[in-house]
Structure 1
Amino acid sequence: MNFVQHSSRLGWKKNKRGKPIIIDPGLYSANKSEIWWVIKQRSLPTAFKLYTGSAWTILSRSFAEYAIVGWDNLPRTLLLYYTNFVSSPEGYFQTLICNSEEFKNKTLNHDLHYITWDNPPKQHPRSLGLKDYRRMILSNRPFARKFKKNDLVLNKIDRELLKRGRRQFAMGGWCLEDEGKEYKCSDLKEEKYGVLRPGTGSRRLRILLTKLVSNQNLSKRVCR
């Protein structure tokens, strides 16, 4: 299963993203510079249907291999098309998976992120803080954005969710536990290297995934 938030309702993006032609010097230049806008515009494609959505995706291995190998040439065609497209991460995977007969019914219209927006929405989402912490947890979503650097809510997440000490890695099932009930990763259980123990976060994720794949919601979350 793939988690790709998508929509065929392009709205303002139809004229601002779909029709303009741009050249990105970042494709060939070592120096960062602004993109070039071509005066003449192009018509919307008819060989495939455009989709848009969140740039944050979770892809299955089979779909990732399809995107790389492209045995029916669609991935390469779209890669060439989106080379001249502003904010291509918000359209490439959405358009690819929803135009693929093999994968269009193997995606959920969700990016598993907790994001909040100003009202009216601005170009970028709100920065999350301590006042958003409880709502983040109750959303059962495993990811969230965006955060300001060194915001206090990040310390709270490290301390209460990841059980991560200052300047330490998040503890895993391979870390030894000493008599003081404290974990340290200087000594490893070699036989359990790479072991992850499900915690309360996994239970919250299970609740969310169960809801997303329920018969009531599944038909609403595939490509249309």
Structure 2
Amino acid sequence: MEPHFLNKSDYDQMVQSGAAFGRQFHKDDPVLDMVDEKILKRGRNRAAPGAWCSGWKGWWMDPCSQWGDANILKPGPQAKKFDESITNLLDDWSSQSNQCK
């Protein structure tokens, strides 16, 4: 069987799945730009924004053009989905290991 390469037609399903990771993608596939723009809120040729961005956001200004403390971690909206996914995995694993064999 040939592997399925994710593309634009898979985007909605990828988002709804809540999965933290995805594979396989063709190099430079447009769906990667969609993930950057819509999920990571990352502009073209720019870093993904985070709590370390200390600049002002404006029409011509990228807030990530100035960096503050790069060690600051502040979860964004996708982190909540990731937390829920990991919690569900751990709960499933825990319930399986507590079953009688």
With the length of structure 2 as denominator, give the TM-score of the two structures. 0.79
Contact 2:57 2:63 in 1 (8 A): no
1:202 aligned partner: 79
Quickly say closer, same or farther: Cα 1:127–1:179, change in 2 above 3 A. closer
1:127 aligned partner: 5
C-alpha distance in 1 between matches for 2:39 and 2:11: 11
C-alpha distance in 1 between matches for 2:57 and 2:4: 43
Structure 2, unpaired ranges of 5+: none
2:67 aligned partner: 188
C-alpha distance in 2 between matches for 1:199 and 1:163: 11
1:167 aligned partner: 45
With the length of structure 1 as denominator, give the TM-score of the two structures. 0.39
Contact 2:55 2:66 in 1 (8 A): no
Aligned ranges 1:65-76 → 2 under 5 Å: none
C-alpha distance in 2 between matches for 1:198 and 1:183: 20
Letter of the structure 2 residue corresponding to residue 139 of structure 1: S
* Residue of 21, 33, 40 corresponding to 1:143: 21
Quickly say closer, same or farther: Cα 1:183–1:176, change in 2 above 3 A. farther
C-alpha distance in 1 between matches for 2:43 and 2:57: 18
Report how far residue 136 of structure 1 moved: 1.2
C-alpha distance in 1 between matches for 2:85 and 2:36: 22
Q: How many residues align?
A: 95
* Residue of 75, 96, 101 corresponding to 1:220: 96
Quickly say closer, same or farther: Cα 1:143–1:179, change in 2 above 3 A. closer
**RMSD value over aligned CA atoms?**
2.1
C-alpha distance in 1 between matches for 2:84 and 2:70: 28
